[in-house]
Amino acid sequence: MTTKADTYLLENNVNPSYQRVKIMEYLLRKKNHPNIDMIFNNLKKEMPKLSKTTIYNTLKLFIKRNLVSPLTIEDNMLRYDADTKIHGHFKCINCGIITDINLDLKNMNRDELPGYTIFEHHVNFKGRCNKKSCNKKSFNKNKNGNTNWEKSA
């Protein structure tokens, strides 16, 4: 069976092994900017022998082939985005959902960085999204009694 992800990998000189196709399918289907554990926990249901190392290796390969962009909106964890067009991200500190933002920073470069060559853009925002549940007065509290937003003591 030849899936969309399958041909996508072939077009980009990535040997479409079973695991690679499944991981790419996950990224294309969910569009949820997942971290390694999200991918692993979801796929291991149908692939019990899946290894995290395989996911790390596969994503490193995808990044090298520019099929995936790494996303460091969270301090201690990489996330991955199968959309490699230039765009920004907004993370709601209440629901955790990451939203894509259109971006055009073409003009800024000239004035600010004369003679610089820019290879990567990373634009991330954090705040509260417009869902009612993310803007009500009683914010979620974590184990330290702080809201998700506030820095812990």
| DSSP per-residue string spanning 45-72 | TT-TT--HHHHHHHHHHHHHTTS-EEEE
Looking at residue 82, its amino acid is A
Q: Pick what 151 binds: DNA, a second copy, none; C-beta below 5 to 8 Å, kind-dependent.
A: a second copy
Question: Using the rule CB under 8 A, is 78 a contact of a second copy?
Answer: yes
Q: What is the DSSP letter of 152?
A: P
Question: Using the rule CB under 8 A, is 48 a contact of a second copy?
Answer: no
Q: How far is the CB of 3 from a second copy (least distance, A)?
A: 26
Q: Pick what 58 binds: a second copy, DNA, none; C-beta below 5 to 8 Å, kind-dependent.
A: DNA
For residues 30 and 61, what is the distance between their CA atoms, to the nearest angstrom? 20
- The torsion of the CA quartet 35, 36, 42, 45, rounded to 10 degrees, works out to -170
Of 1, 45, 46, 53, which one interacts with DNA (CB under 7 A)? 53
Chain positions contacting DNA, by CB under 7 A: 15, 17-20, 35-37, 47, 49-54, 56-58, 60, 76-78
